[in-house]
Amino acid sequence: WAEVKKARRRLSREQGTIIKDWGGRIPIALVYPNSYYVGMSNLGLHALYSLLNSYSQVVGERAFWEVENRAHRSPALCLESQRPLSDFAVVAFSISYELDYFNVVHILKASGIPLYAADRDERHPLVIAGGPCIIANPLCAQGRHTLPVATDDPALYSELAFVVTQKQLNAKGDQN
């Protein structure tokens, strides 16, 4: 409960927070693999959060990797809903610093999401990595992420939202 209280306290002090109902929407977790304070100083994270939430079919939420998560090996919860990353259709990492690669590994392990893309199946979220480190050297993410994104072009994200929507619709059709 301490983590939920902390998230709610942070949300109460923020401006521009977007909270959407999950019903019928694609949940995408934007994960900054460092503390809330480091992540919130990243303009790219703000831009992606705003962009994703501009699509009516998408719920974009943010997650961070705090000292408490590392110490207790507890999963990161998204700030807006306090849900674990395993509940999301897409987990998108923004990696700005090389040392954050280690945090990505810890986040995936703590969340019960297999580290390597080959070990994931339809039960797991699509894992994406982007940010300055991926743009500079996409080979570091090879094999771990379903989709390393080596661009900051916003058009890619609208296309991604469409592809994930189609995947979700197909999955629902297969269940019926």
Highest mean pLDDT among 5-19, 20-34, 143-157: 20-34
> What mean pLDDT is reported for the chain?
83
Instruction: Kindly report, residue by residue over 21-39, the tens digit of the pLDDT.
Output: 989 899 999 999 999 999 9
Residue bearing the bigger pLDDT, 79 or 150 = 79
| Span 92-116, average pLDDT | 92
Phi and psi (nearest 5°) for 31?
Answer: -110, 125
Please, what CATH class does the domain formed by 2-161 belong to?
alpha beta
Higher pLDDT, 36 or 150: 36
Contacts of residue 106, defined as CB under 8 A and 6 or more positions apart, other chains included, come to 65, 69, 70, 73
What are the residue ranges spanned by the domains of the chain?
Answer: 2-161
pLDDT-derived band at 132 (thresholds 50, 70, 90) equals confident
